[in-house]
Structure formats: structure tokens, C-alpha cells
Amino acid sequence: MTPTRLHEHRVTATPEPEGWVVFLHGILGSGANWAGFARRLVEARPHLGALLLDLRLHGRSDAGTPPHTVEAAARDVAHHLEEREIRPRVLSGHSFGSKVAFTAATLGRGTPDSIWLLDADPGPRPEAAGRTTVLRVIEALRSMPSSYPEREAFTSELVDRGFSAGLAGWLGKNLVRAGGELHLQLDLDAIEAILEDYHATDLWPRLLHPPCPVHCVVGGRSDVFSPGARERLEREAGAGRLLLHHLPSAGHWVHVDAPKGLLDAFLTAL
């Protein structure tokens, strides 16, 4: 299988950083979601650089070829890093990107110093696949117009359908101007397929014997964890190479809800 061409954005304070922190976004997102947090991290640790990747089917990366799975997305990432001879100091992923990050760390030739799983349930959640906010967004996008004169028309449409202005603005970053109008260039069927594989993927068997230390960040107000998942993380943390970080005030968007707390966690470990 030919790896997918991925778009990258680098945030650096020096021309040649001593190491890299890689950020992988969640479903329907892009590397740009982490640009603000990456700048704060690099300002605090100027000898490091941040590498923000758009995963297959997202942002400015190619769509890639089916099957669209967590492992396929992870192989894209591992190939991208190997081609550029980058062994990450940190390989981190938010939500969907967490399972991609962990899997990529086991596929690449150079194991990162640490893996960070940012507000993501490590286990399978097949019962959640049909009722997540993302699935409701996908269904809404399917029934909306394919093009818009301005970004505000798109965001207003989503708000009118009951979604928050913040979520609408975030999704609006996926709009691309072509032929004088803005188009949402997302393969919704493929994204739904890769999301279904994410919900079916179980990291626990490998998480208990990881290739390097794994930091799990949990938002205190997050609703993405299955019943018992938080308790299992608490029980397993500290016994091996699994470390747990609580951000009590954060929801699922930990880098938006508690940027200082998340940054402090990163800086303590770097």
C-alpha cells in the first residue's frame, strides 16, 4: 500500500531544533488546530520544534486509498517521519489522533521518547459509533449545500442546525475556495469509515506493554470515555510506563479548555 502524502506545518524558534514534538489532530480537524498550543510550547522550550500533520482525508493532505483505517493513517505518519529522518521526542495525538499516534510509534524505525494520548478512551467503543457529536455533524454536512459564497454562510447554517458557534467556526477551517465559492472538501463516507475503525480499535493490550512511556491526559469534564475507562486508567497508571494527567476544568478540547495545565504537563515531562 502506497503511503498517503501528508501536509505538515512546522513551528520553530531555531533553524535546526534539537528534537521534535509531533501533534496529530482529531477527526474532522487539521494540524492547524494545534498551532496556538505549539507556539506556546516552542516559546517555553525553544530548542524543540513542533511538527503539525494533517492526517489522510483531512486538511491539505491527500485522501489516500482505502481501506481507511487507524493503521493506514498510522503508516502514513510513520512513513512521513522516516522519509524526513525525524525520530520524535514526543508523538502526541488528540482524540482520533491518539490511536493513530500510538500505532505509528509501533510502526516506525525510531521509537519516540514518549507518546501522549490526549483525552481519548484507549478501548473500543462500538456503542458510541452512532451517537457521537461527529456523527451528527457528518449527517448535517451531508444535507447542507456543497458550496458557500462566504465562510459566515456555512457557520450560520450549522448554528441554525443546533451546533455551537465554536464548533461551526472550527469546521469552517476545512472550506477551500474554488471557482469563486467556498467548498467543503471532505469525503464524508471515508471519514465515517475511518471513525468506525477508530471506535473498534482497542489499544489496551499494547498500552500495558508500550514501547516507551505513555502519558494519558484526561479532561475532567470530558464525555468521551466509556463507563469504567477512567477507573481503569487510574488503576493501571503508575504500575508500568503509563502516566496519567488530570485536567479537572477541561472538556474534550483540552488544549482549548486548559492550555496552561496541558502545557505544564508537557513541560514537566520534556
- The answer to whether residues 2 and 65 touch, using CB atoms and an 8 Å cutoff, is yes
Q: How far apart are CA 153 and CA 134, in angstroms?
A: 20
pLDDT of residue 34: 94
Sign of CA pseudo-dihedral 178, 183, 184, 186: negative
Residue 116 pLDDT more than 70?
yes
pLDDT of residue 170: 80
Written as nine digits, the cell of 166 is: 465554536
pLDDT of residue 175: 86
Q: What is the mean pLDDT of the chain?
A: 91
Residue 223 pLDDT more than 90?
no
pLDDT of residue 108: 73
- To which CATH superfamily is domain 8-124+201-269 assigned? Alpha/Beta hydrolase fold, catalytic domain (3.40.50.1820)
pLDDT of residue 178: 86
Residue with cell 492550555: 259
How does residue 52 score in pLDDT terms, banded at 50, 70 and 90? very high
Tell me the pTM: 0.92
How does residue 169 score in pLDDT terms, banded at 50, 70 and 90? confident
Residue 84 pLDDT more than 80?
yes
Residue 93 pLDDT more than 70?
yes
| Residue ranges per structural domain of the chain | 8-124+201-269, 133-187
pLDDT digits 0-9 by tens, 16-50: 999 999 999 999 989 988 999 999 999 999 999 99
How does residue 267 score in pLDDT terms, banded at 50, 70 and 90? very high
